[in-house]
């Protein structure tokens, strides 16, 4: 599948931010997109990562979905803001400091440990009812080697760190990762939940 265009990426980031603002302000709404491109209609997995002042503030996604990409991104953005169990829900006065990153996933495929490429592959490790996922950018951020990446994905799944050597299923995926510009937008909503770049 060809990469998303700059316009498609910008629209997904805009949709994600508006979804966060709506959700934090108590509005339950998945916005429609007039005449979406074919790429935005494709059912693809995605994750939305929120950071505040450089620190992780939420990250939620779907590996596989039947929803169009533009809806999946909005759903993940809302969940990252309000439903990541590691963090309290985002509050209105945090909105201006939030920085959004979107990862659009390929279809997962089985992989051997020695085929994993750091920076290219994300990992999914599963065994029984346990499943954990780490995005491709995680081992780069933490300077992990391949073995550490496998171990940390096992831990994320709630499994022993060596489960990847003991019969756990190892899958990989690639991701198209893009983020908001580093300079905050002047249109970022104020804490009173003023609308931001509303999409009609």
Residue 184 falls inside a structural domain: no
Please tell me the pTM assigned to this model. Answer: 0.89
| CATH value at residue 34 | 3.30.700.20
pLDDT at 183 > cutoff 80:
no
Q: What is the pLDDT of residues 18-50, one digit of tens each?
A: 999 999 999 878 899 999 999 999 999 999 999
The CATH number for 148's domain is: 3.30.1490.150
Please give the biggest Cα pair distance in the chain.
52
Please report the pLDDT score of residue 182 as a whole number: 78
Residue 62 lies in a domain: yes
**Residues 116 and 83 reside in one and the same domain:** no
Contact 189, 90 (CB under 8 A): no
197, part of any domain: no
Residues 98, 129 within the same domain? no
61 and 34 in a single domain? The answer is: yes
d(CA 172, CA 105): 10
pLDDT tens, 96-131? 999 999 999 999 999 999 999 999 999 999 999 999
Verify that 99 and 125 share a domain, yes or no.
no
Do 99 and 121 have their domain in common?
no
- Interval 87-97: pLDDT, tens: 999 999 999 99
Nearest to 180 by CA among 9, 46, 33: 9
Measure the CA–CA gap between 13 and 103, rounded to whole angstroms.
11
Residue 119 and residue 158 share a domain = yes
Choose the final residue of a domain: 51, 84, 106: 106
Residue 3, SS3?
A: coil
In a domain, residue 36? The reply is yes
For residues 129 and 60, state if they share a domain.
no
- Indicate the burial class of 147 (C-beta count within 10 angstroms; 0-12, 13-18, 19 or more): middle
- Percent of the residues in the chain that have a pLDDT greater than 70, as a whole number: 91
| Mean pLDDT (the chain, rounded) | 92
The number of distinct structural domains making up the chain is: 2
Question: For residue 200, is pLDDT > 90?
Answer: no
Question: Do 84 and 117 fall within a single domain?
Answer: no
- 145 close to 118: Cβ distance less than 8 angstroms: yes
Domain contains 33:
yes
- Work out the average pLDDT over 163-192: 81
> 148 and 101, same structural domain?
no
How far apart CA 40 and CA 180 sit, in angstroms, is 18
């Amino acid at each position: 599948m060809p990469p998303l265009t700059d316009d498609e990426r910008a629209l997904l980031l805009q949709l994600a931010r508006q979804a966060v603002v709506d959700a934090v302000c108590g509005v339950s709404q998945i916005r429609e997109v007039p005449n979406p491109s074919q790429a935005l209609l494709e059912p693809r997995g995605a994750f939305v990562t929120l950071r505040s002042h450089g620190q992780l503030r939420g990250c939620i996604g779907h590996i596989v979905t039947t929803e169009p990409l533009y809806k999946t991104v909005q759903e993940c953005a809302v969940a990252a803001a309000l439903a990541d169990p590691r963090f309290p829900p985002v509050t209105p006065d945090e909105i201006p400091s939030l920085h959004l990153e979107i990862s659009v996933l390929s279809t997962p495929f089985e992989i051997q440990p020695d085929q994993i490429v750091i920076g290219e592959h994300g990992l999914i490790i599963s065994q029984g009812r346990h499943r954990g996922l780490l995005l491709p950018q995680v081992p780069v951020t933490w300077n992990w080697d391949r073995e550490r990446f496998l171990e940390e994905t096992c831990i994320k799944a709630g499994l022993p760190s060596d489960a990847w050597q003991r019969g756990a299923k190892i899958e990989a995926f690639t991701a198209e990762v893009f983020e908001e510009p580093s300079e905050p937008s002047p249109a970022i909503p104020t804490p009173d939940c003023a609308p931001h770049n509303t999409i009609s």
